[in-house]
Every structure is written in structure tokens, then in C-alpha cells.
């Protein structure tokens, strides 16, 4: 079985040289990147970091970023109880964004300041 995977990897490498990128080749590239970059971060931690950086600059954050920063699910932020606590920014139309001051206020009340 090991020989099969090695042969397949070799064939995918040859295809990549000719400009044809297969999903298997791309997956191996991404796995190598993760392995070489140290401990991989979860998507949630990455979103929370991005949100913290935006909040420091007093920029609005998306629903996913706010949820990651506050440690709740994105569905929770859409519930009526959260709508009262965390109002949406009115100037973004259908795109949901939350003001930095509101997210920081909620985080402070929850004891989740970073």
C-alpha cells in the first residue's frame, strides 16, 4: 500500500510540473505547510485573533469574528436576546457587522477581555 501512495505522489508531482495541479498534490502541499509552520491553529482561534486586531483598531467585526472573540456560536449572536445586547452596525446594509465598542462592552461584561 505504501508503494501505491508513493507512486501516486510521484505521478502527481510530475503532473504539477506540467501545470496540472491535482487535489492530492494540493493537499500534500497544505499538509507540508502546516507541518512546517509549527502547531496549527484552529479556525476559531484564527478568527478570534483577527477580531482582537480589528477591535484594537476600533474597526467593526463580522458575525463570525465577534462570535469567536466572545466564545459563542454565530447562531447565538442572531438570537433575539443577543440582538438587544449587541446591535448591528446600520451602515453596512445586508452584511452583518458589529461595532468594536459594543463587542468590547459585551466581552468586558462576560469577563472575556483579551
Return per-residue pLDDT of the chain as tens, 114 residues: 778 778 888 888 887 788 888 888 888 887 777 665 554 457 778 888 889 999 999 999 988 888 889 888 888 887 877 777 888 777 766 778 888 999 898 888 887 655
Alpha helices (H) along 1-114: 2-17, 23-36, 43-56, 63-70, 74-78, 80-85, 100-110
Q: Identify the domain containing residue 17 by its residue range.
A: 2-36
The pLDDT value recorded for residue 92 is 65
* Same-domain pairing of 50 and 26: no
* Same-domain pairing of 101 and 52: yes
Tell me the pTM: 0.59
Please give the tally of structural domains in the chain: 2
* Same-domain pairing of 8 and 32: yes
- Residue 70 near residue 49, CB atoms below 8 Å: no
* Same-domain pairing of 49 and 32: no
* Same-domain pairing of 32 and 65: no
* Same-domain pairing of 26 and 11: yes
- Residue 88 near residue 60, CB atoms below 8 Å: no
Amino acid at each position: 500500500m505504501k508503494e501505491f501512495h508513493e507512486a501516486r505522489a510521484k505521478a502527481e508531482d510530475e503532473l504539477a510540473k506540467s501545470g496540472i495541479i491535482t487535489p492530492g498534490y494540493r493537499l500534500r502541499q497544505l499538509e507540508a505547510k502546516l507541518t512546517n509552520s509549527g502547531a496549527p491553529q484552529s479556525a476559531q482561534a484564527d478568527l478570534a485573533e483577527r477580531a482582537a486586531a480589528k477591535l484594537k483598531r476600533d474597526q467593526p467585526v463580522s458575525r463570525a469574528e465577534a462570535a469567536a472573540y466572545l466564545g459563542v456560536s454565530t447562531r447565538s449572536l442572531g438570537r433575539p436576546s443577543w440582538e438587544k445586547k449587541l446591535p448591528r452596525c446600520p451602515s453596512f446594509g445586508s452584511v452583518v457587522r458589529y461595532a468594536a465598542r459594543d463587542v468590547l462592552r459585551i466581552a468586558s461584561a462576560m469577563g472575556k477581555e483579551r
